[in-house]
Amino acid sequence: MPPLSTETRDHIFSCIKEVMAKYVPPMVVSKEKSGVYELMGNKPVPYGSKKVIVPGMYFSSIVARKDMISFYFFPIYYQTEEFIGLIPTVSKCLKGKTCFNFKKPEQVNVKELNALLKKGVAAWKKLGYMK
């Protein structure tokens, strides 16, 4: 696949980031730099086999790559079928368990992404990762 044009990459990235930013707060921005935007829960929680306390459970991120924009959404790992039903268009870009790869602006459905993130925030609250 040829590299995305800078305009296309920036457009896809900004569309997804705009949707994600609507959920801050209650989510917390854990990383924001050129080509990367990451959210986590707002409550310290135990993580991993050693139950080390982390400042917040990873929630989602976007990463600009040469030939695509990757959107990682961790809550889908826990309730795959429930989330997939919300996103018939976006689910076509799901690669693996939690990664969506967008190569064209028309693949980004803002309404579906909003529904996905809203349900994800509710899941994070239910799992105790949010105040």
pLDDT in tens, 42-98: 999 988 888 889 899 999 999 999 999 999 999 998 777 788 888 999 999 999 899
Point out the least confidently predicted range of 1-10, 53-62, 63-72, 116-125: 1-10
Q: Which strand (E) or helix (H) includes residue 33?
A: strand 28-33
Record the pTM: 0.91
Is 34 contained in some domain? yes
Is 118 contained in some domain? yes
Is 131 contained in some domain? no
Is 105 contained in some domain? yes
Is 84 contained in some domain? yes
Backbone angles phi, psi at 110, to 5 degrees: -60, -40
Any idea how long the chain is?
A: 131
15 close to 110: Cβ distance less than 8 angstroms: yes
Backbone angles phi, psi at 75, to 5 degrees: -55, -25
Q: How confident is the model at residue 107 (pLDDT cuts 50, 70, 90)?
A: very high
Q: How confident is the model at residue 2 (pLDDT cuts 50, 70, 90)?
A: low
Rounded CA-CA distance 92/101 in Å is 9
Mean pLDDT of 21-33: 95
User: Is 109 a residue whose pLDDT tops 70?
Assistant: yes
Give me the percent of the chain exceeding a pLDDT of 70. Answer: 98
Q: What is the CA angle 57-61-64, rounded to 5? A: 155
pLDDT of residue 78: 79
Rounded CA-CA distance 91/112 in Å is 9
- The whole domain housing 112 covers 6-125
Q: What is the CA angle 20-118-39, rounded to 5? A: 35
CA 49 to centroid of chain Cα atoms:
24
Number of domains in the chain: 1
CATH number, domain with residue 98: 3.90.1150
